[in-house]
Amino acid sequence: MTVTPSRDLSIAEVRLTPVLVADPPLLNTQGVHQPYTPRLIVEVVTRGGVTGLGETYGDTKYLELARPLAENLTGHQIGDLNGLFTAAERIAVDRSHVAERVDVGGLRGVQTADKLRLSVVSAFEVACLDALGQALGLPVHALLGGKVRDTVDYSAYLFYKWAAHPEGVPAEPDDWGAALDPAGVVAQARRLTERYGFTSYKLKGGVFPPDEEIAAVRALAEAFPGRPLRLDPNGAWSVETSVKVAEELREVLEYLEDPALGTPAMAEVAARTGVPLATNMCVTTFGEIEEAFTRGAVQVVLSDHHYWGGLRRTQHLAAVCAAFGVGLSMHSNTHLGISLAAMTHVAATVPHLHHACDTHYPWQSEDVLTERVALTDGKVAVSDAPGLGVRLDRDRLAFLHRRWADDDGRHRDRDDAAALRAAVPGWTTPAMPRW
Ligand SMILES: O=C([O-])C(=O)C[C@H](O)[C@@H](O)C(=O)[O-]
Ligand SMILES: [Mg+2]
């Protein structure tokens, strides 16, 4: 049988384009977002002439893994996703990028070699699925077994925020203004609601002493009665503080996210409060599930297809959570529309997704797409177009890549503590627990 060119599903080329995207001065327990955040855009081009898109973290340590993987994939079939993961396993990881302890692992838990690899290969998997979907005329959700909903709910991701970056880049402050107290947080939530129709809210905490953050959540509860609310200090509190906050906010919280750092501390908090605990820090790999679930440390896991290793592994995680009666939600980092499209396709296929997903997307004023992904009534409509249903704007991609190429080295690797040092000389990532 002769294969027509458009049906040749082997990989001709993988293009990697690192970009720097504008990010507002959002505060978290480690520091503040830098003016630009690195992302990596992956294009998988088939010999049949179809191009699939993927997106992941763009820091140097991810690029170092993505490059050899891309080079090894010429001739690989885009439908051979298992083979793609085997190819990724062969890529050596620089040990200096690995941290085996949760207290030094940053905001997404322990940074193992496997997790780094998975964070890279996930974007290749998404790009292969996008290409396969386009070649077959099927949406990505259909390749994953089919959607069980037509829209995916997202929550408003609220941040304490400065009006402008301390580095003075870009020169003009954004139009969101500052949010540094309960009134500022409520104003931000109202604005996000007006623009995007959100009906649930998550506040990134661990920035101010817990009493101030309790006051902010109470103010949100008053402003949006009955709406689901979450607070996430990224492990900044002791067990005692976590229990106190949980008890004070028990009437209004949908869940408390990573109040304390690590499974043993979370298990202790969980044993002492009825408020459900969620995590994207102590359960971030399949290996961490057994201890956390058997100890009852978490009631909700935040999936993230980037570091869990793609869309299919996210479905596997969902199945394990369902088997243990643990809820599922979705974590997000600074990301563009390709990631949001991928998040939406996989979320659409997960039956027991009972919490709105997180997304940073409203904070991203820039994108690499010809059309931004629409967030309406707090939802993204699940696309039925072939593949992910998004199109790359090559001029925008080139512009954001030029910013990366011209960068003086300050922004190619996300460093929230370094960004905060511009305002608070001598600042370093705080030891946990902070409070
Ligand atoms: O839910 C979370 O822990 C996050 O979204 C982690 C992120 O890094 C967030 O804290 C941020 O971007 O500042
Ligand atoms: Mg979190």
Average pLDDT over residues 148-161: 98
CATH number at residue 96: 3.30.390.10
385 Cβ contact partners less than 8 Å away, ≥ 6 residues apart: 139
Least confident of 15-29, 100-114, 341-355, 372-386: 100-114
Query: What's the pLDDT at 111?
Result: 82
> Could you give the ipTM of this predicted complex?
0.98
Q: What is the CATH number of the domain that holds 332?
A: 3.20.20.120
**What average pLDDT does range 371-392 have in this prediction?**
98
Q: Which residues make Cβ contacts (< 8 Å) with residue 47, sequence separation at least 6?
A: 5, 8, 9, 10, 11, 12
Query: Does the pLDDT of residue 103 top 80, yes or no?
Result: no
Domain assignment present for 435? no
What pLDDT was estimated at residue 101?
Answer: 55
Buried b (16+ CB within 10 A) or exposed e, 284-306: bbeebbeebbeeebbbbbbbbbb
Query: Does residue 114 belong to any structural domain of this protein?
Result: yes
Cα-to-centroid distance, 307 and ligand 2 (Å)? 13
How far is Cα 122 from Cα 312, in angstroms, rounded to an integer?
9
Q: How far apart, in whole angstroms, are the C-alpha atoms of residue 55 and residue 125?
A: 10
Residue 272, pLDDT score: 98
Q: What is the CA radius of gyration of the chain?
A: 21
* pLDDT more than 90, % of the chain: 91
pLDDT band at 172 (very low <50, low <70, confident <90, very high): confident
Tokens read off for 242:
């976590």
Average pLDDT, stretch 68-97? 95
User: Are 230 and 256 in a shared domain?
Assistant: yes
Check pLDDT > 90 for residue 66: yes
Is residue 331 part of the annotated active site? The answer reads: yes
pLDDT at 2: 52
* CA separation for the pair 152, 218 (Å, rounded): 27
pTM: 0.97
pLDDT of 156 strictly over 80: yes
- What tokens appear for 90 in the block? 């062969």
Query: 362 and 302 in one domain?
Result: yes
279 lines ligand 1 (CB under 6 A): no
In terms of domains, do 127 and 220 share one? no
Q: How many domains does the chain have?
A: 2
Residue 418 is assigned to a structural domain of this protein: no
Least confident among 5-9, 295-299, 320-324, 410-414: 5-9
228 plus 271 within the same structural domain: yes
Ligand 1 and 231: CB distance under 6 A: no
Say if residue 269 is in the same domain as residue 296: yes
Q: Taking 50 as the threshold, does the pLDDT of residue 3 lie above it?
A: no
- 331 CB within 6 A, ligand 1: yes
Is residue 204 annotated as a catalytic residue, yes or no?
yes
Q: Do 278 and 257 meet the contact criterion of CB atoms below 8 Å apart?
A: yes
Q: How confident is the model at residue 4 (pLDDT cuts 50, 70, 90)?
A: low
Q: What is the pLDDT of residue 240?
A: 98
List Cβ neighbours of 200 (8 Å cut-off, separation of 6 or more).
Answer: 153, 155, 156, 227, 228, 229, 230, 254, 355, 356, 378
Which residues fall in the annotated binding site for substrate? Answer: 33, 112, 157, 202, 232-234, 280, 331-333, 360, 414
CB-CB neighbours of 172 under 10 Å: 6
Q: What is the mean pLDDT of the chain?
A: 95
* Structural domain span for residue 363: 145-381
**Mean of the pLDDT values across residues 283-301?**
97
- Is 423 a domain residue? no
Among residues 10, 83, 1, the alpha carbon closest in space to that of 49 is found at: 10
Tokens for 157, please give them.
Answer: 């991701």
150 shares its domain with 120:
no
For the record, the structure tokens of 271 come out as 């044993």
Does 434 reside within a domain? no
Question: DSSP for 298-333?
Answer: -SEEEE-HHHHTSHHHHHHHHHHHHHHT-EEEE---
Query: What is the pLDDT confidence band of residue 171, given thresholds at 50, 70 and 90?
Result: confident
